[in-house]
Amino acid sequence: MVDLKDPTLSIVKQCILLSISRSGVYYQPTSESELDLQIMSEIDKHYTLYPFYGTRRMSEHLKEKGYHVGRKAVKSYYIKMGIWTIYPKKKPNTSEPNKEHRTYPYLLRNLKITHKNYVWATDITYIPMPKGHMFLCAIIDLYTRYVLSWNISNTMDTTFCVEVLKNALQHHDKPKIFNTDQGSQFTSPDFTDLLESQNIMVSMDSKGRALDNIFIERLWRSVKYECIYLNVFENGAQLYQGLDQYFNFYNCKRKHQSLNNQTPEELFKKTV
């Protein structure tokens, strides 16, 4: 945890020791219009519960809440927030990945995940702030639901995602398969080359496909409804400290019914 008042270690040195992004800690959210913040907060809350809502449904929901926002405006908010609709399996998705980046097949279909460090998964989510927004990237072990590494940034760039990946590989045994969506951060050669250099198989969801990355979607719901929406984090340092406390709770104290009422840490430590 970063201590902004530590007289012996500068914030820069603390960030280096903790392997966290300085931009996330230093960042003071830039001011956006109050109306935009309200609309994006409502979109975030409703999308977290109903990620299959497209622009039409979200526009209707916002109008019911008193925000007269059309589909084109909703699409602009979706792009700004880095989200897209999760579609049913047989419905095509018109979202396009970065055409200059290589994409990979989805390897988890019908795959039985039987032990830790078999499959890791990652994603980015939008984090609303009182005067702006930030983004959270995390990597989880799919068998144990253990959060292996995470970080925050004020942008959705590849660099901070690579930092999260490097930190996970530094502190844990590498997985056999690494699953992502087709976001440009994860299809970037900087990200995929690092995985392939470790002989890790890369798996990618069809963009927007339901269930492909469901476990990390459940993580985002937990993070937001058990941490983000219950607190007011004024800046990056406060957000980082709040998330640090939450992920410690999530890994070490929060029992999961799907894990036979064990915590992710308990299962992660006792499995091979």
Residue 71 lies in a domain: no
Class of residue 80 by CB neighbours under 10 A (exposed 0-12, middle 13-18, buried 19+): middle
The whole-number pLDDT of residue 79 equals 86
Residue 162 lies in a domain: yes
Residue 83 lies in a domain: no
- Residue of 78, 95, 72 whose CA lies nearest to 42: 78
Residue 87 lies in a domain: no
| pLDDT tens figures, 15-24 | 655 555 555 5
Residues near 46 by beta carbon (within 8 Å), at least 6 away in sequence: 53, 58, 61
160 and 153 Cβ atoms separated by less than 8 Å: yes
Place of tokens 């925000």: 67
Residue 175 lies in a domain: yes
For residue 219, give the CATH number of its domain.
Answer: 3.30.420.10
Q: How far is it, in rounded angstroms, from Cα 3 to Cα 217?
A: 30
Residue 108 lies in a domain: no
More confident residue, 244 or 80: 244
Q: How far is it, in rounded angstroms, from Cα 161 to Cα 165?
A: 6
Print burial letters for 226-254: b (CB count within 10 Å at least 16), e (below 16): ebbeeeebebbbbbbbbbeebbeebbeeb
The whole-number pLDDT of residue 12 equals 47
Residue 52 lies in a domain: no
The whole-number pLDDT of residue 94 equals 35
What's the rounded mean pLDDT across residues 42-67? 90
- Residue range(s) defining the domain that contains residue 262: 119-270
Q: What percent of the chain has pLDDT over 90?
A: 55
Domain count, the chain: 1
| pLDDT tens figures, 163-174 | 999 999 999 999
| pLDDT tens figures, 214-264 | 888 899 999 999 999 999 998 888 999 999 999 999 999 999 888 889 999
Backbone angles phi, psi at 13, to 5 degrees: -65, -40
**DSSP summary character for residue 230:** G
Residue 58 lies in a domain: no
Q: 97 pLDDT exceeds 90?
A: no
